[in-house]
Amino acid sequence: MTRLPGAFEHHWSWQLRAACRTTDTDLFFHPSGERGTPHDEREQAAVAVCARCPVRSECRRYALAAREPYGVWGGLTEDERRALLTRRPTTGRRSTTDRRPPVHRAA
């Protein structure tokens, strides 16, 4: 290799504008064994920080592309991201099992 690749700052510089930069990361990642009301309240507080974040969509795109398994990213919880990633993609076409023969109408 004769040249090093260019800078990749544009891939992560959005993080410098994130609302969570001044927030304790413990808010976004649950401690081991956290369940019930404490878990739900912490997660809701994290999502509220994301709701006012100017780079929420960039963060969400990153988390989905990287398949981040833990924490709240872009306003999405672990379960919400998992559900989005496991959902079947829709192509706008019906499956072959849904196809019906064409209807021919008399002119």
Q: How far is CA 80 from CA 14, 28, 73, 88, in A?
A: 22, 14, 10, 14
pLDDT attached to residue 9: 59
Residue stretches of the annotated binding site for [4Fe-4S] cluster: 20, 50, 53, 59
Asked if residue 8 has pLDDT above 70, the reply is no
In this prediction the pTM is 0.71
pLDDT attached to residue 24: 95
Residue stretches of the annotated binding site: 20, 50, 53, 59
